[in-house]
């Protein structure tokens, strides 16, 4: 079974609109971390935001927020007021802490296109 599922292979969104990128995860580990990374067409991987499984509040970083719904095992990324520069691949990832090896498993990604 896939540990991280991103069901949207591609999305088109009008500039300035808010975007929600879906991510569901599968783990029985009570302690885990969830990450989102951005990969623009230039190829580099850029860390965006982190949510720990015990964090009480949803993580926010500037225009990025993580809609963490623990019971549903969902960690959607919300980008407010999208910009043309947000066009990129977005990867959701998870670290299961009981493994003790800091391994991060990535989803297959969602390609986001922001339209002018």
Partner 1 sequence: DTAVSQTPKYLVTQMGNDKSIKCEQNLGHDTMYWYKQDSKKFLKIMFSYNNKELIINETVPNRFSPKSPDKAHLNLHINSLELGDSAVYFCASSFFGTGSSYEQYFGPGTRLTVT
Residue 11 makes contact with partner 1 by CB under 8 A: no
Note whether 106 binds partner 1 by CB under 8 A: yes
Q: Does 43 bind partner 1 (CB under 8 A)?
A: yes
Beta strand 32-39 pairing with 24-25: unpaired
Query: How many helices (H) and strands (E) in the chain?
Result: 0, 12
Map tokens 């990324």 to a residue. Answer: 77
Q: Which stretch binds partner 1 (CB under 8 A): 10-18, 19-27, 34-42, 68-76?
A: 34-42
Q: Which residues of the chain form contacts with partner 1 (CB under 8 A)?
A: 31, 33, 35, 37, 39, 43-47, 50, 52, 89, 91, 95, 97, 99-106, 108-109
């Amino acid at each position: 079974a896939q540990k991280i599922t991103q069901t949207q292979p591609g999305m088109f969104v009008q500039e300035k609109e808010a975007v929600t990128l879906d991510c569901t995860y599968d783990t029985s580990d009570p302690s885990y971390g969830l990450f989102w990374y951005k990969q623009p067409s230039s190829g580099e991987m850029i860390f965006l935001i982190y949510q720990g499984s015990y964090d009480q509040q949803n993580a926010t970083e500037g225009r990025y927020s993580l809609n963490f719904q623990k019971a549903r095992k969902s960690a959607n990324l919300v980008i407010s007021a999208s910009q043309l520069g947000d066009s990129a691949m977005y990867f959701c990832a998870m670290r299961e802490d009981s493994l003790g090896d800091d391994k991060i498993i990535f989803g297959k990604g969602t390609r986001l296109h922001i339209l002018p």
